[in-house]
Amino acid sequence: MNYEFKYKDEVVSVDLTDGKIASFNDGEKQLQFEFRSEGRIYLRDGNMAKEVCAVIDGDKTFVDIDGLLFEFAVPSEDASGSGEGGLASDPSRLFAPMPGKIVKLLVEIGDTVSDKLQVVIVEAMKMENIVIAKASGTVKAINFAEGDQCDIETPLIELELADD
Amino acid sequence: MLFNKVLIANRGEIAVRIIHACRTLGISTVTVYSTADKDAVHTMMGDEAYEIGPPSPLESYLCIEKIIEVAKKSGADAIHPGYGFLAENPNFASACAANKIAFIGPSAEAILLMGNKVESRKKMVSVGVPLIPGMKDEGKSLAEFVKAADEAGYPVLIKAAAGGGGKGMRVVNEPADLETAVEGAKREAKSAFGDDTVYLEKYIVDPRHIEFQVMADSHGNVVHVFERECSIQRRHQKIVEETPSTAVTDELRIEMGKAAVEVTKAADYVGAGTIEFLLDKSGKFYFLEMNTRIQVEHPVTEEVTGVDLVAEQIRIASGYELSDHFKNLTQRGHSIECRIYAEDASNNFMPSIGKILLYREPTGPGVRVDSGVRQGSEVGIDYDPIMAKLVVWGEDRETACARMIKALKEYKILGLRHSVKYLSDIIAHPKFVSGETYTDFIERNFSDWDDGASELLETAVGAAAIAGANYRPAGNQSGAGDASVFDPWRETGNWQIGESVK
């Protein structure tokens, strides 16, 4: 059976046989697992066994290997459509990482922004978090004022993307 | 007489830590919680729990009136503020006193004195504790800068009064460069902050953050409980702390410890406190400030000395003299603490929120976890994202480091982003191993940190697929549970406690 997982921007495909052998690249690489519980999955190689944890929550899967955390999403059919994956991957709309208070707006309507430029500072959990532009463009809308509470569904800033 | 009942005006891991200390002393506990913490670990753990308002700290954990009201209603004779929230609020200490409730901490006057940078520095000068040399005010003429630089000794640092982010900042190594540096710093300050006020202080080469734990009772006894090094910081917040410091020699420890005790006495201080110093490469140290509370990183001190600092705070507030252990303190072995935050180390330490879906703490010799979460806990947006502190002890630093890496690898927290791998890479870093831990350690060594995910991506994807293929959501079963799980209750047949069923 084939599974696909999205890690950051990369989609990784894996074939599973007998519910325990994972093959990559048409069988070029194979890994054997033993499932006991979500908290105890063992990577097996002969007598060697290594514990891995994996938990599924809705369309997210979290995996831990020795403290290193992976967060996988199910690849969406239509990347530009609605849903979290779609919103996050659209660089013309910048969202707060979590609900919080707008501390500072670092751009104004009409400003040109470049990739990685800091645009908004949002305070949540006692800390200031910087929202960074993911592409170059011109600020076309700012939907909050300094001091406003923001959610994660409304974009903070909307950009007119620059043509490459 | 010890208190009968202590109210804990805090949440999370420190509230849990205080409950442990109270229980050890046979004192019953009252917890307070906001609606966001209805099911939190600390809420469920105390002997009594009172809701004090909505999630916003201003309307709950910072609301003095509500907390005093709960203390009176529940009959608590003392309040422990933990750290953060109301811990260093003189008005809270005064409100406790006015209501005849003991505040487990110093007097309002001592909090006020140490909270005021100018006043506390004056006090330190009067008892001969060294401060970072430099100008008291802005420099007006070049002559003033030259004089101040000569007094402080080169290298010196020119800083913008409105400063931040390194703008308007210049390091000057020799007198010939002073004038150009002052001019440059002024220009930069003007354009960055619209204010060209600059001042001068001694530039500290390879600074370390070294702090001393002090304990003082109401009978005039003051001791220091050795140092902690807390140089590893991100976003100006400590993330790894250890004791002893690799930079503090036996002679230096005596000298700094003496200064710490002087500071404590000068402030007429009672309770647990921490004196923060900056230590430079040549072994010179400078007073920064005094924290008038129990510190997040207090466990490393407990691990190497065998004392319970929180229990001792409570004893001192009850009027007892310092325990005998504090009269013959020695440091044994080495201890390290890592703060486990819900944050994304690969994305500018952005706090992470969510539900902890799977949680497993590490175990083994020399491993201690002070935690405020459990499996199923929600980490929300309203509070500091610290989930737990992982503390290890080893007979030497090498053993402590090895135990820390082992324990971090065993620590399982799934469901949100956390700093466990980042911390593990810090402890394993050659510069950490060699003790080259200066306050810019993170900028210097971890600016291009890679979590190493690419090497393990296929293993992780394989495990994700295995979980998907075998996953059975809870409550989605028809019939009497999952037959593949061994359930001893199904094997016992008819039975009744104490006798056989007729």
Please report the residues numbered 93 through 132 in chain A whose beta carbons come closer than 8 angstroms to any beta carbon of chain B.
97-100, 124-127, 129-130
Please report the residues numbered 6 through 35 in chain A whose beta carbons come closer than 8 angstroms to any beta carbon of chain B.
7, 12, 14, 16, 19-20, 22, 24, 29, 31, 33, 35
Q: ipTM value of the model?
A: 0.84
What is the structure's pLDDT at A51? 94
Query: How much is the average pLDDT of B487-501?
Result: 55
pLDDT at B481 over 60: no
Interchain proximity B415–A55, CB inside 8 Å:
yes
Going from N- to C-terminal start, the domains of chain A cover: 2-73, 91-161
Instruction: List the one residue out of B41, B36, B42 whose CA is nearest residue B7.
Output: B42
Task: Tell me which of A62, A116, A128 to substitute to probe the interface with B (most B C-beta atoms closer than 10 Å).
Answer: A62
Query: Which residue has better confidence, B430 or B482?
Result: B430
Hunting for tokens 């013309």 — which residue is that?
A92
Query: How much is the average pLDDT of A5-15?
Result: 93
pLDDT at A77 over 70: no
Instruction: List the one residue out of B23, B54, B22 whose CA is nearest residue B32.
Output: B54
Query: How much is the average pLDDT of B297-313?
Result: 98
Interchain proximity B358–A39, CB inside 8 Å:
yes
| d(C-alpha A96, C-alpha A122), whole Å | 7
Q: What pLDDT digit, counting tens, does each position of B78-135 carry?
A: 999 999 999 999 999 999 999 999 999 999 999 999 988 888 888 888 999 999 998 8
Q: What pLDDT digit, counting tens, does each position of B30-41 carry?
A: 999 999 999 999
What is the structure's pLDDT at B497? 65
- Which chain A residue lies closest to B415 (C-alpha atoms)? A62
Contacts with A29 from chain B: Cβ below 8 Å: 458
pLDDT at A83 over 50: no
Task: Tell me which of A28, A48, A69 to substitute to probe the interface with B (most B C-beta atoms closer than 10 Å).
Answer: A69
pLDDT at B489 over 70: no
- The answer to whether residues B184 and B191 touch, using CB atoms and an 8 Å cutoff, is no
Ranking A97-111, B78-92, B226-240 by mean pLDDT, the lowest is A97-111
Fold topology of B142-202: Dna Ligase; domain 1 (3.30.1490)
pLDDT at A15 over 70: yes
Interchain proximity B459–A65, CB inside 8 Å:
yes
What is the structure's pLDDT at B189? 84
Q: Please state which CATH number belongs to domain B208-446.
A: 3.30.470.20
Query: Which of the listed ranges A103-107, B159-163, B229-233 does the model predict with the highest average pLDDT?
Result: B229-233
Interchain proximity A53–B358, CB inside 8 Å:
yes
Query: How much is the average pLDDT of B404-428?
Result: 97
H-helix or E-strand spanning residue B231: strand B222-234
Task: Tell me which of A4, A66, A119 to substitute to probe the interface with B (most B C-beta atoms closer than 10 Å).
Answer: A66
- What residues does CATH 3.40.50.20 cover in chain B? 5-104
What is the structure's pLDDT at A153? 83
What is the structure's pLDDT at A85? 41
Contacts with B468 from chain A: Cβ below 8 Å: 3, 56, 61
- The answer to whether residues A106 and A120 touch, using CB atoms and an 8 Å cutoff, is yes
Q: What pLDDT digit, counting tens, does each position of B312-341 carry?
A: 999 999 999 999 999 999 999 999 999 999
Query: Which residue has better confidence, B480 or A99?
Result: A99
CATH number assigned to the domain with residue range A91-161, chosen from the 4 options 2.60.40.4070, 2.40.50.100, 3.40.190.10, 2.102.10.10: 2.40.50.100
Instruction: List the one residue out of B141, B123, B142 whose CA is nearest residue B131.
Output: B123
Q: Percent of chain B having pLDDT more than 90?
A: 81
What is the structure's pLDDT at A152? 84
pLDDT at B364 over 80: yes
What is the structure's pLDDT at B162? 77
- The answer to whether residues B126 and B268 touch, using CB atoms and an 8 Å cutoff, is no
CATH architecture label of B5-104: 3-Layer(aba) Sandwich (3.40)
Catalytic residue positions of B, numbered? 293
Query: How much is the average pLDDT of B358-384?
Result: 96
What is the structure's pLDDT at A46? 84
What is the structure's pLDDT at B498? 66
